[in-house]
Structure 1
């Protein structure tokens, strides 16, 4: 006795010609009409829209995005905590509460929300990679002092000029 598997569909492969017919029909009649006409499953339909989850507070997120861009223009650091706090502040504004009445109470602002928000708006957290050193005020004096020191060492130990070189980085 053999058992038939319930709910399992056999995958079908389509030729290039068949795919072109479906694409043409889709361009003329729309994706949903083509799916219905050719009896295509949902997974075969192309997913559209922005990546990640749908926004629960799209208007508030637009304001938050503008705030982040403004902070970056001012060269201020923006991190996960500041994004969450700013969103909470936005959701308390009367104009936003008129749209999302319980928004400030329902909003959790967890890490996954922040990641999906960043993905929706094409943002990434930036990190300062290098903070350059400030030159001392008496730079010229220190350079001249160093030159005199090298000349004294060279004459004292009779170093050959080929034995002296400059190294910018500390070797490890």
Structure 2
């Protein structure tokens, strides 16, 4: 007696764009033709056609303008801080979380910034989540010096020969 092998199907995931292409083809040429053309099951194509109206609604809700995350409370002051960080890096100085926070406090005390954000000096907390969000907004990362080179003495060849 021979045993009949059960066909094992492999689960395939389809992107929303791929599904929309199949649905559009099915609406123009029919469900069976779409299933045959894209080598899919007819019931699956039918489910996709039914679900396609809700996909469009979900897509409209998902689209947001701008970058994800919380908006800056002090955008003008953060621009000053960003410029300060770039200057420090050009000079070869290390910039860490503490120095960034202290500099932001100094910036918020300046008269120009005080005019924009009168209570900013007192409300600013400068916690770790603010620093991380700030760095994400401006595409920064904390850098670490990986190589500190030493200058070799001028009479290196003579010392090598003596050694």
Structure 1 length normalisation: TM-score? Answer: 0.60
Counterpart selection for 1:52 from 56, 69, 83: 69
Q: Which runs of 5+ in 1 are unaligned?
A: 1-12, 21-37, 147-172
Partner of 1:101: 118
**1:71-93 Cα shifts (integer Å, max 9, x gaps):** 11111111111110110000001
Deviation at 1:48, TM superposition (A): 3.0
Greater Rg over alpha carbons, structure: 1
Question: Between Structure 1 and Structure 2, how many residues are aligned?
Answer: 117
Partner of 2:108: 91
- Alpha-carbon contact 1:64-1:87 (below 8 Å) kept: yes
Following the alignment from structure 1 to structure 2, what is the Cα–Cα distance between the partners of residues 19 and 87?
53
Q: Which runs of 5+ in 2 are unaligned?
A: 1-15, 25-54
Look up the SS of the partner of 1:16 in the other structure: helix
Which aligned segments of 4 or more residues in structure 1 are displaced greater than 6 angstroms?
Answer: none
- Alpha-carbon contact 1:52-1:119 (below 8 Å) kept: no
Structure 2 length normalisation: TM-score? Answer: 0.63
The 5 A counterparts of 1:80-159 are 80-146=97-163
Look up the SS of the partner of 1:40 in the other structure: helix
Asked whether 1:16 is paired with 2:20, we answer: yes
Deviation at 1:44, TM superposition (A): 3.8
**1:106-157 Cα shifts (integer Å, max 9, x gaps):** 00001110000000000011100011122134312211112xxxxxxxxxxx
Q: How big is the alpha-carbon RMSD for the aligned residues of Structure 1 and Structure 2?
A: 2.6
Partner of 1:155: none
